[in-house]
Amino acid sequence: MKRLLYFGLILVGILSLTAFLISLYRSLRLYILAPQPGSTLIYHFSLYIPDNRNSFFLGIIRGAEQAAAELESAISVHSIDPAKNELEIAALTGVDGVIVCPYLDDALARRQLEKLREYQIPAALINHNLPSEQPWPFIGINTFDMGRRIGLILEEDSQVSLATQAPLATQAPLVPQAVLTASEKITLAVVYSDKAPGIYAERELVEMGISATLGEKLSGPIMSYRTNLNPLDAEALLVNIFRRIEDTRPGANSGDSDFTNRQTINTIVFTDPEDTIAAAQTLVDLNLVGKIQIIGFGSDLGVTENLRKGIISASVVINSERIGYEAVYSLAALRTTGYTSASIDIGIEIITGNK
């Protein structure tokens, strides 16, 4: 009986000592991490982005978290959806800075940003810029240059086409890629998406860049489509577009004045990875591979696999991690010095099946 009592007392003593050591460790850690006089402050920044968590926005979050860790700061992620009013109350949260990916309503976003300015909370814009007499720092891409680069790819499609590449022994045989002849005009459609609101908001600049590069090689005005956040919407839209393209029977007449133009589309540009993957699968399902040239978006596994197979010609890649990373450092610079770069152009990369 006494042995059990002694054992119990020893166990209680060990547990008490363990709890004391843990408490002491945490207290020392808080003391060490606490900002000392004259030392670098630890900031709390907020990131406001759309609810969509595709690879692009996940990359922004990763980049922001990496920069915050390097600066010994905190980063919290919030929704930019106007219905949730999270940006509306950002000025009342006491954060040290706000990163905003503006949604489709520019007027609403500008009003909320002006409110942050009144509270002297630094803000940086990513992915989509808003014109202002006192502009906010912008980190993202030049969408006109993006359109120009797409135009160059289409202009030099014979160089980026995978049809001329010999398949590797370890790869599945490449399917024939659509190649336009020198005399054939490019009938172009661009598919925008609510999943990529920044590009959609600056769609005019994208199309201006494409038109400036291709000029008379375009058969007519660039046609545009738009998909929502539901992946099924993208599939339905693409099936509708591709079936119209597929219907090339002599004398076919749908009664739709726009039908004749749309059914001759021979090139489509996508601005979202999920839409790109859906397009590639729809091309295969409708047996249209080799009849339509596809420029995709992103470097997701599904996109690169379709590049390797030759189903799509090329893909536009934006380093979204760098966007988040540079945005956090811009806010830190504003807090410490009051100055930062007015604009940081991340640039884009064009990848093809052999890259």
CATH fold match for the domains 44-140+320-347 and 143-318: yes
- Per-residue pLDDT tens for 289-323? 888 899 999 999 999 999 999 999 999 999 999 99
Q: Which pLDDT tens digit goes with each residue over 36-93?
A: 555 455 899 999 998 888 889 999 999 999 999 999 999 999 998 888 888 888 888 8
Residue with tokens 């152009």: 345
3-state secondary structure (DSSP) of residue 351: strand
Residues of the chain above pLDDT 70, percent: 76
- Cross-strand partners of 295: 269, 314
Q: Are 321 and 297 in contact (CB under 8 A)?
A: no
Q: Name beta bridge partners: 99.
A: 47, 124
Please state which CATH number belongs to domain 44-140+320-347: 3.40.50.2300
Nearest residue to 66 (alpha-carbon basis) of 332, 306, 328: 328
Contacts of 244 (CB under 8 A, 6+ apart): 259, 262, 263, 265
Give a three-class secondary structure readout of 194-252.
Answer: CCCHHHHHCHHHHHHHHHHHHHHHECCCCEEEEECCCHHHHHHHHHHHHHHHHCCCCCC
The CATH number that domain 143-318 falls under is 3.40.50.2300
**So where are the chain's domains?**
44-140+320-347, 143-318
